Structure 1
Amino acid sequence: MADEPRTNRLSWPAVEAHVRSIAEAASLDRAPDCLIGILRGGAVPAVLVAHLLQVRDLRTVEVTHTLRDGIDAPKSPQVRIGNPSTLGDLTGLDVLIVDDVAGTGHTVRVTAELARRAGATRVRTAVCVLNQANLDPDLPASEIPTYTALTTRGWVVFPWEAQS
């Protein structure tokens, strides 16, 4: 059907290439002290980036905007924060936040705010995929992810997600 969303299914080799791209870009700008993976989808690429950059300080935080899994899943009116204390003390650290995909950009923005509140002195953000179809047009340029491996339009399905 013409009304169905365009779905981009990524393979493991594609994800690995995206992660390498993020790691290379971040290393050119100095490897971070700490990586933060946004749960759930950002955990996988965050681990891979941490290994490539040889960063042992890897943390996770639950920040979500979608209400459930699935193509074109509905979003909550506000970004929901799980347990921000999982970030711990980030005082004086250069932090890289990693997520699998940025739709509206709100999840990455809120996570960056949490990292700054936890004391990070430098906060960079990275996503494997930026979905321009959903990106909030009012999002300031300074809040668009620092590193983006792929820009697309439409829903993205990663190899670790349940596929129907």
Structure 2
Amino acid sequence: MSEDHAGQPKAFPVSWDQFHRDARALAWRLSGQGEWSAIVCITRGGLVPAAIVARELGIRVIETVGVASYHEYKEQGSLQVLKPVDPEIIKLGEGGGSQVLIIDDLVDTGATARVVREMLPKAHFATVYAKPKGRPLVDTFVTEVSQDTWIYFPWDMGLTFQPPINQGAFG
């Protein structure tokens, strides 16, 4: 990960309020784009935005796919499918998941997205945040951030003092 001029990694902290607004913006962008029968959320990061999108779009069927790619929170390692998609979900639409929304919090390098796209080649892939390397793999996203920025999601943070920007807190 790149560091800024003060030797600190670039950081993008996201509050619960901001994440909720961004996830609702994702639902707004998705509304009217298709007849969605189900959501497949990529665990764990996709759980929260999937719940918000499901509520906003009136989708009642939520499936999970478990893919682990981050180890020790900051280091991306090899991919491991922990839980595949239920075969009944893959059959929705004309096969290949054409009536399915895939939801995740972030597409980074695109490695996880490629694995899930292979499972559901006709599904619509949507993320709240996208980095340049992974952006071509998603159909809809809300905010693009630079590849060398680490997003701190609200479920990964506690309430602590945040140093001012001029002290190198942000890139």
Task: Give the TM bin, normalised by the shorter chain.
Answer: 0.7 to 0.9
Deviation of the 1:79 alpha carbon: 1.9
**Whole-angstrom distance in 2 between the partners of 1:87 and 1:11:** 32
Where structure 2 has 5 or more consecutive residues not aligned to the other structure, the ranges are 94-98, 161-171
Aligned partner of residue 44 in structure 1, secondary structure: helix
Deviation of the 1:162 alpha carbon: 3.6
Deviation of the 1:124 alpha carbon: 0.9
Aligned partner of residue 123 in structure 2, secondary structure: strand
Quote the sequence identity (%). 26
Show the counterpart of 2:100.
95
1:60 pairs, out of 58, 64, 71, with: 64
Aligned partner of residue 104 in structure 1, secondary structure: coil
Aligned partner of residue 28 in structure 1, secondary structure: coil
Residues 31/22 of structure 1: CA separation in 2 closer, same or farther (3 Å cut) = farther
Runs of 4+ deviating beyond 6 Å: none
* 1:161 equivalenced with 2:156 (yes/no): yes
Where structure 1 has 5 or more consecutive residues not aligned to the other structure, the ranges are 117-121
Show the counterpart of 1:150.
143
Kept after mapping to 1: 8 A contact 2:37/2:92: no
Show the counterpart of 1:114.
119
1:5 pairs, out of 9, 13, 37, with: 9
* Aligned-partner residue type, residue 147 of structure 1: T
* 1:32 equivalenced with 2:33 (yes/no): no
**Whole-angstrom distance in 2 between the partners of 1:162 and 1:82:** 25
- 1:65-91, Cα deviation, whole Å (9 max, x unpaired): 11122xxx1111x3211121x534120
* 1:82 equivalenced with 2:82 (yes/no): yes
- Bigger mean CA deviation after superposition, 87-96 or 5-14: 87-96
Q: What is the Cα-based RMSD across aligned positions, in Å?
A: 1.9
Larger radius of gyration: 2
Kept after mapping to 1: 8 A contact 2:38/2:100: yes
- 1:41-77, Cα deviation, whole Å (9 max, x unpaired): 11111111111110001011111211122xxx1111x
* Aligned-partner residue type, residue 131 of structure 2: N
1:23 pairs, out of 23, 27, 36, with: 27
**Whole-angstrom distance in 2 between the partners of 1:82 and 1:26:** 28
**Whole-angstrom distance in 2 between the partners of 1:9 and 1:24:** 23
Kept after mapping to 1: 8 A contact 2:63/2:86: yes
Kept after mapping to 2: 8 A contact 1:33/1:57: yes
Deviation of the 1:2 alpha carbon: 2.8
Show the counterpart of 1:119.
none
Deviation of the 1:17 alpha carbon: 1.6
**Whole-angstrom distance in 2 between the partners of 1:98 and 1:151:** 16
